[in-house]
Structure 1
Amino acid sequence: LDPKGVVIAGREEIGLSLGAVGEVRAALAGRYASALRQRISDEPPPSLYSVSRGTRVRVFVAMPVAVDGKVAGVVYLSRTPNNIVKHLYGERGKVVLAAIAILGGTLLIGLIFLRTVSRPIYALMERTNRIAAGDRAAIRPLDHHGTREMAALSDAFLDMAEKLHARSDSIQTFATHVSHELKSPLTAIQGAAELLRDSGSAMDEAERRRFSDNIVTDAGRLNLLVRRLLDLARAENLAPSGESTSLSAALALLPTGDRLALRVEAGGETGLRISAENAAIVLANLIDNSVRHGATLVSITAASAGGKATIQVSDDGAGISPSNRARIFEPFFTTRRDCGGTGMGLGIVLALLKAHDGTIRLVDSERGARFEIILPAA
């Protein structure tokens, strides 16, 4: 184009003035300019996948030609860009390499996902089915966890399964003990009642009185056993109330009697993070245990340090034999069943203390028995 925008060299447009075109006008002013316009063609459009320039736009570029600082002319070009298919075909080598890389990366990610996520999940599902079927041997860590999160999930699940199995075993054992404890007095009551029914008229007054007393005694034992079972159930399902009390306040709730002497040697005002009623239940069961073992004196000492309160309950009774020390906290274990013992007192004590983040243990003593209780201090 000359300085006036007239075509002076080209194909068929020689002599045509393009000075009114925006990009040409900008180039005549000394600025580079370009434009993108919709393509208008009399020819039919090529097919979608034709390798010709089948795009529907055209690029126009105007570049000023300067001589001695003045615009002497303009180079004006236009071109239809290649369509995407032709461009990709021209770069087919790179496209193939990219496709191979993407496919390989996808396969690698799939393998990693299979090993780290899918396989451990299926293994855990298979282990779950085995545990549900009662296979105790299935409660063990997986051979391969894959990720730390999967390892944490597996450990949490297996820990839950172990606790559920332990709970199931405990319930089964407990049910066996309960049925045994209930069966003995029920059998005795049934036998005495049948004798009175069938032969009562032939008995003298003393015999009838003896069988009637046996029924009353066994019924009383059943009543005591049921009450102790309820106490144990409440203790095992007790939620901490957040209440606090002192040792002396708990002792004040105990019934007075002349069965034995009770002496607080130290720490009567020690604060305990437990309600006075529950603390009294703990102490009452320990004192009752001492009475059943022939104690005449129970000594209590308490102290607190480091946020913990330590209470020691000692007696001068017969003590606990070495062979029984490991079993004293088992439900229904007692050596005084003939004297009315149910073997549930220490079990209730242990459950109450656990509910309040406390512990109890039997410690060595020169005479009698000595229990050490640790509770959060108030």
Structure 2
Amino acid sequence: YKPIEPQLDLASDYVLPTRPAAIAATADPAFAAIGARLSGILDATQKTTLAGFRLLDPRGVVIAGRGEVGQSLSAAEEVRTALAGRYASALRLRIPDQPTPPLYSVSRGTKVRVFVALPVAVGGKVAGVVYVSRTPNNIIKHLYGERGKVTLAAIAILGGTLLIGLVFLRTVSRPIYALIDRTERIAAGDRAAIRPLDHHGTREMAELSAAFLDMAEKLQARSDSIQTFATHVSHELKSPLTAIQGAAELLRDSGGAMDDTERRRFSDNIVTDAGRLNLLVRRLLDLARAENLAPSGESTSLGAALALLPVDNRLAVRVGAGGEIGLRISAENAAIVLA
């Protein structure tokens, strides 16, 4: 037993025209007798397989089969191939006057018919041909017949989908949720949250996490700097304001009991402290301007920057060494920072 695997493919094979009509011929009486003996078997087989059977003699004349007994089918290409001793199959268009198969035949099989010609060899010579024709199975019957393969394919697809989902969850979703959690903790003031993630998943996610944490560190440092700066400024502003307030209260509460000398001394203190406040505000403005200036590409030395400082008898500056070291900043901006 040597089974012949299917070779036709409805999706790609060329569909031949309708089978050529049978030609009138005369069958050999010996072969006609064989066909008569086998006609009952053909009828029973046709009821089981729903296929049309024709038995042909060595010249291609039908010796058994409905309606075409005594006629030749040798004009069909697949029949000629079988008469030469080779198996042949073909897809052909259906005969137009035959009814169309039901709608559930969701395939090209609704308009085609499969023809198979199998040579029968006796003593090394072709003694006849079994010529079979049938419409292809509809897609539902075909899938049911291949239900094992379809089930395995569905399991493979489902498993692949789950695997992709797990990989996506581990490499993308989990790091994103971890980064969101870090964001919320950092926003709540948790400094311990500013550290690398335990698992980044992908290179892009690692770069995003690093950039975010770097930004968080810089913002935290900036916040600390602003907090420290505000504390120092508050302290510097508080001293002259307290002095001004005290002097003003003494002037208000003394009435006429304070002589001109004391009143002038307290007034001079108020003016001096107001000048200190004014100078402090100007320096704060200068500092803000120096921080916001774009790099100019100029350079200067420490000594040149110190030479531009305003003369102040209360502060003496002495450079022990390195006065000529170059600074990549303009002299004016360096003087602002030093002041």
Sort the TM-score into its range (normalised by shorter chain): 0.5 to 0.7
40-49 vs 204-213, which moves further: 40-49
Structure 1 pair 110/39, CA: closer, same or farther in 2 (3 Å)? Answer: farther
Structure 1 pair 39/96, CA: closer, same or farther in 2 (3 Å)? Answer: farther
Deviations 1:299-339 (A, max 9, x none): xxxxxxxxxxxxxxxxxxxxxxxxxxxxxxxxxxxxxxxxx
Deviations 1:250-303 (A, max 9, x none): 56983797978999x9997x9864334324545xx3xxxxxxxxxxxxxxxxxx
Partner residue in 2 for 1:80: 135
Preserved contact between residue 61 and residue 72 of structure 2 (Cα < 8 Å): no
Q: State the Cα distance separating 1:115 from its structure 2 match.
A: 1.8
Partner residue in 2 for 1:230: 285
Preserved contact between residue 244 and residue 271 of structure 1 (Cα < 8 Å): no
Preserved contact between residue 185 and residue 221 of structure 1 (Cα < 8 Å): yes
Q: State the Cα distance separating 1:216 from its structure 2 match.
A: 0.9
Q: State the Cα distance separating 1:235 from its structure 2 match.
A: 2.2
1:205 aligns with 2:205: no
Partner residue in 2 for 1:351: none
1:153 aligns with 2:205: no
Counterparts of 2:250 and 2:22, CA distance in 1: 136
Query: Helix, strand or coil: the match of 1:274?
Result: coil
Identity of aligned residues (%): 71
Q: State the Cα distance separating 1:184 from its structure 2 match.
A: 1.3
Preserved contact between residue 192 and residue 211 of structure 1 (Cα < 8 Å): yes
Let me know the Cα RMSD of the aligned residues: 4.4
Partner residue in 2 for 1:355: none
Preserved contact between residue 49 and residue 85 of structure 1 (Cα < 8 Å): yes
Give structure 1 stretches of 5+ with no counterpart. Answer: 64-73, 286-344, 346-378
Counterpart selection for 1:9 from 42, 61, 69: 61
Preserved contact between residue 192 and residue 212 of structure 1 (Cα < 8 Å): yes
1:165 aligns with 2:220: yes
Partner residue in 2 for 1:48: 104
Q: State the Cα distance separating 1:221 from its structure 2 match.
A: 0.6
Partner residue in 1 for 2:246: 191
Query: Helix, strand or coil: the match of 2:113?
Result: strand
Partner residue in 2 for 1:254: 308
Preserved contact between residue 55 and residue 82 of structure 1 (Cα < 8 Å): no
- Whichever residue aligns with residue 37 of structure 1, its letter is L
Q: State the Cα distance separating 1:126 from its structure 2 match.
A: 1.9
271-280 vs 181-190, which moves further: 271-280
Q: State the Cα distance separating 1:214 from its structure 2 match.
A: 0.2
Query: Helix, strand or coil: the match of 1:202?
Result: coil
- Whichever residue aligns with residue 147 of structure 1, its letter is T
Partner residue in 2 for 1:110: 165
Partner residue in 2 for 1:177: 232
Partner residue in 1 for 2:126: none
Counterparts of 2:108 and 2:300, CA distance in 1: 96
- Whichever residue aligns with residue 149 of structure 2, its letter is K
Runs of 4+ in 1 over 3 A off after TM superposition: 13-19, 32-36, 38-44, 59-63, 74-79, 245-253, 255-263, 265-268, 270-276, 279-282
Counterparts of 1:261 and 1:220, CA distance in 2: 22
Give structure 2 stretches of 5+ with no counterpart. Answer: 1-20, 25-59, 82-87, 119-128
Counterparts of 1:240 and 1:176, CA distance in 2: 29
* 1:1-378 alignment, distance < 5 Å: 6=23, 9-10=61-62, 11=65, 12-13=67-68, 15=71, 36-37=92-93, 40=96, 42-43=98-99, 45-46=101-102, 48=104, 55-59=110-114, 79-199=134-254, 201-241=256-296, 243-245=297-299, 247=301, 254=308, 273-281=328-336, 285=338, 345=339
Preserved contact between residue 305 and residue 335 of structure 2 (Cα < 8 Å): yes
Normalized against structure 2, the TM-score is what? 0.61
- Whichever residue aligns with residue 159 of structure 2, its letter is G
Structure 1 pair 136/266, CA: closer, same or farther in 2 (3 Å)? Answer: closer
Preserved contact between residue 189 and residue 219 of structure 1 (Cα < 8 Å): yes
Q: State the Cα distance separating 1:157 from its structure 2 match.
A: 1.7
Q: Which has the higher strand share?
A: 1
- Whichever residue aligns with residue 138 of structure 1, its letter is A
Preserved contact between residue 253 and residue 277 of structure 1 (Cα < 8 Å): no
Deviations 1:140-193 (A, max 9, x none): 232322223222222222222222222222212222221221111111111112
Partner residue in 1 for 2:35: none
